[in-house]
Amino acid sequence: MKSARTILHKTSGLRRYLEQERATFVASPVLLIQSQPAVAAAGDDDKKHYNTAVDSACRHVQHLLQAANLRTVATAQTLKYAYPTASDIQHLTDLCRRVGASTVVGVGSGTAMDLAKAVVQSIGGRDISSSNRGRNAAAFEQLVLVPATATATMAAAMSHSLLLNAAEEALTVYPPDSQSLQEIPTVQVVLEPTLVDDSRQTKALYASLAIGLDCLTRDPTNELAITMIRNSLACLEFSDATEESHHELVQETLTTAGGLISYGLENDVRSVPMALAASLTPTLFTEHDIVAFMASLLPALVEQVDLASILGIADSSNLEKQLAAAPRIVTTETLETLLTTVRDNHLLWNCIDDRNDGLTKALKEHLLVS
């Protein structure tokens, strides 16, 4: 969101924040949006680890809200699809209005982050449904985001929310323009490592590299992207590190990556990773989540940037080894089918996509089966 953002480290930081800002939080109920456990098949240890971490984070935050004697209306996400829809947002928006909440707390997965952001954006600005636009809305005081997964950390930092258009089977962006973003104070909490699911951390770091490289294709001097790329590589090099400083660097890196994503709105150019992931994952790559798909674009984006030169690396062998370890996705779909799907999504967003051959080059990296 466009708002000022505060980063709190550890749930102890959230506890102190609730105490310091108690006057704000007690003024009205708090809407708590939590993630539900994912369905885990037998032997799916990653999904079980995910459920444990997300459940622990949700319980922890709920306990802190209760300990602060705040009036909390808790709701778990119950979604028909893997991504929230306009109907899901409208349901929570109506609930928020009914209880008179002026603070929303989202905790858990990336879906919970998108739901929390969209509720605030919907009530504070232009409503999801045309029938409700223009209705009086309560003034929002706070948006608190507590990501418990690597994907959620990136989602929490993204200015917009991603929704599923079920009719078109494509991801869309909310709000559909930057003018509707509200100046709501946003707090993002970095949890202790034991409360965070790190099973997809490596893929998220590769996705961060892809996002950073995409930025450099448009602006090779983007210092924020360059720093984020350096940090991503450092985190990948010591992926097994357990030190608190390493954990915080990972969270900082993923947060920066989420903030660097461009949506192509208002005459800007949409990020290639976002354009392709939003267009293709809901239909043609349903077995992959959006972060894994973004990570798979890394080989194509590396080809378009002289990264070793930008980073000032004389011997690029270690860099090449790190980048070569990125996950790959294979498809038998034709290039034209993929491009048509991207163009259809482009029309749904009413955005600007890269006009050079960046999209085509990135897509060809997936056409490994002929």
Full pLDDT tens readout for the chain, 370 residues: 555 678 888 888 899 999 998 888 898 999 999 988 776 556 666 778 888 888 999 999 999 999 999 999 998 777 777 789 999 999 999 999 999 998 999 999 999 999 999 999 888 644 444 344 334 445 677 899 999 999 999 999 999 999 999 888 889 999 988 877 777 788 999 888 888 888 889 999 999 999 999 999 889 999 999 999 999 999 998 766 567 788 889 999 999 999 999 999 988 889 999 999 999 999 899 888 899 999 999 988 888 888 989 999 888 888 888 888 888 888 888 999 999 999 999 999 989 887 657 788 888 877 765 4
Query: Are residue 189 and residue 205 in the same domain, yes or no?
Result: no
Q: How far apart are CA 231 and CA 254, in angstroms?
A: 10
Residue whose tokens read 């309560």:
138
CATH of the domain at 35: 3.40.50.1970
Query: Are residue 320 and residue 222 in the same domain, yes or no?
Result: yes
For 311, phi and psi rounded to 5 degrees? -85, -10
Please name the amino acid found at residue 355: R
H/E stretch holding 310 reads: helix 307-311
Q: Look at residue 29 in the predicted model and tell me its pLDDT.
A: 93
Q: How far apart are CA 219 and CA 225, in angstroms?
A: 9
Query: Are residue 187 and residue 323 in the same domain, yes or no?
Result: no
318-331: b (≥16 Cβ within 10 Å) or e: eeeeebeebeebee
Query: Are residue 188 and residue 224 in the same domain, yes or no?
Result: no
Q: How far apart are CA 260 and CA 289, in angstroms?
A: 19
Residue whose tokens read 């690396």:
313
Query: Are residue 32 and residue 137 in the same domain, yes or no?
Result: yes
For 106, phi and psi rounded to 5 degrees? -110, 130
Query: Are residue 177 and residue 52 in the same domain, yes or no?
Result: yes
Instruction: Please give the structure tokens belonging to residue 62.
Output: 């709920």
Instruction: Please give the structure tokens belonging to residue 356.
Output: 């050079």
Number of domains in the chain: 2
Contact (Cβ atoms closer than 8 angstroms) between residue 225 and residue 216: yes
Query: Are residue 217 and residue 170 in the same domain, yes or no?
Result: no
Q: How far apart are CA 366 and CA 355, in angstroms?
A: 20
Contact (Cβ atoms closer than 8 angstroms) between residue 171 and residue 164: yes
Query: Are residue 183 and residue 221 in the same domain, yes or no?
Result: no
- Please indicate, yes or no, if residue 370 is contained in any of the structural domains: no
Query: Are residue 76 and residue 181 in the same domain, yes or no?
Result: yes
Query: Are residue 263 and residue 182 in the same domain, yes or no?
Result: no
Q: How far apart are CA 233 and CA 240, in angstroms?
A: 13
> What residue numbers bound the domain in which 15 lies?
5-195
> Considering 195, 226, 254, which residue would you say is the last residue of a domain?
195
> Considering 156, 176, 195, which residue would you say is the last residue of a domain?
195
Strands 5-9 and 186-190: parallel
Query: Are residue 76 and residue 132 in the same domain, yes or no?
Result: yes
Residues 6+ apart with CB under 8 A from 209: 229, 232, 233, 295, 298, 323, 326
- Please indicate, yes or no, if residue 118 is contained in any of the structural domains: yes
Residues 6+ apart with CB under 8 A from 329: 285, 288, 292, 293, 296, 366
For the chain, give me the number of helices (H) and strands (E)?
16, 8
Query: Are residue 170 and residue 219 in the same domain, yes or no?
Result: no
